[in-house]
A and B are shown apart, each in its own frame.
Chain A
């Protein structure tokens, strides 16, 4: 992994985390509150702030990536052709809208319904951002990235990180149905990730010499990291089940949720960091030039 890839790793993960948090917050927490015309709990206001901090972390790390950040504004010059230009456009749009909606939420916590449309639009922009982000890697010159598996992996990372964080955050304040829903996601997404692994590996085996070398790298040079990632994913599933069965409609018993939710969050972070590390590490350019 070259030095220039570390900022990219932090950038992609923090942005996917941010979008995941905002999207699931909108769907699981804000939607029921807006429907019932209830006031937004103070605790919930912090959620968007965390998503905003994650996005701003992305800004800092994205500026560490180019060799000459002084010209950063020129990166919007090739929107017609370059996925990188498009990513920067959606990145600016998403972060800007998130900043506004977070400010509105702190200023007018009881008027959620009036600006929920802006949050919905932020979610939509975030979803497009994650897709555009994945298209950057969809290059014929890099066979290990050049497939539908790249956007799938990015979206799964987005949903998993978002759901783990939200479950941990709303231990005593969320509805038990939303907690159950988040716990189901924490179980289902790593299951999909583990199930996709052999499919992806067998696809790589068929995708030419360079792709086969990527498999060889994963199964030889990076085998310990590969197994560690798998282990973290399986642990996340296990903690997801523990969390699911700890959720009761009785509020007092929700305290039992803290330990499995925290453990699921920690193992999720481990799995995603190693997964993204291997993503950058496994590339073998076409022709291996």
Chain B
């Protein structure tokens, strides 16, 4: 079980993608690989008012998602080489010496977290900036966020502070993998599904490898 987790305040996120860029910079990631991805979710309808005018009820918000170091990690179960493994501190890591780059973990992960590095022929992903944590620092995505929408800490503290909500549209049902991700949804998120909301920056966030 993961002892650490992320808290994400979707209502505070402006979608500036500083977290995504800081992560790429810190991990020296090549083009097309993103350990952290900012999804732009939007949906809207046009409604006719009693006076005959038309008005929209647009919903738009952002979700900043990296590896959630799940309690029940489907990537670890799927990995045929045990390269994808859970450390004693609950952080899920990839052993590059064992990974064959079969990409099965990418299929199994409902959050699209493992990313394929074509140059190296192996998978890579967020490790909570483990080197920073060991130095007593916070992950780079957290410290770089200008809106303070991201927070990192022990799961028990995050739950105590923010509650245990791990779901928001369109993220998968958290019961599948029990992600260590706690979310304060945007106020409009509850309506996004019924408004036919979807991720509108798919081309930007998809795995290009």
Contacts and interface: CB of A to CB of B under 8 A. Distances in A.
Interface in B62-113: 65, 74, 76-83, 97-104, 107-112
B82 A77 contact: yes
A77 B37 CA distance: 31
Nearest to B113: A289
A206 to B, nearest CB: 16
Contacts of A141: 74, 107-110, 172, 176
Given A74-B81, A141-B109, A142-B107, A66 B101 contact: yes
Interface string B166-192: 000011110010000000000000000
B39 interface: yes
A136 interface: yes
A88 B80 contact: yes
A75 to B, nearest CB: 4
B172 A78 contact: no
B121 interface: yes
A82 B74 CA distance: 10
B104 A84 contact: yes
Nearest to B205: A289
B98 A74 contact: yes
Contacts of B35: none
Given A67-B116, A289-B65, A72 B100 contact: yes
B80 A288 contact: no
Contacts of B172: 140-141, 286-287, 289
A214 B199 CA distance: 16
B118 interface: yes
Contacts of B80: 74-78, 82, 84-85, 88
B11 interface: no
B108 A139 contact: yes
Interface residues on A, range: 20 to 34
A65 B176 CA distance: 27
A174 interface: no
A84 B110 contact: no
A286 B111 CA distance: 8
Given A77-B82, A78-B79, A141-B172, A289 B199 contact: yes
Contacts of B144: none
Contacts of B116: 67
Given A67-B118, A68-B122, A288-B199, A140 B102 contact: no
Interface of A: 4, 65-69, 71-72, 74-78, 81-85, 88, 136, 139-142, 209, 285-289
24 contacts: A67-B101, A67-B102, A67-B116, A67-B117, A68-B99, A68-B120, A76-B80, A78-B81, A81-B76, A82-B78, A82-B80, A84-B78, A84-B102, A136-B104, A139-B78, A139-B107, A286-B172, A286-B176, A287-B170, A288-B199, A289-B65, A289-B112, A289-B170, A289-B171
Interface of B: 37, 39, 65, 74, 76-83, 97-104, 107-112, 116-118, 120-122, 170-173, 176, 193, 198-199, 202
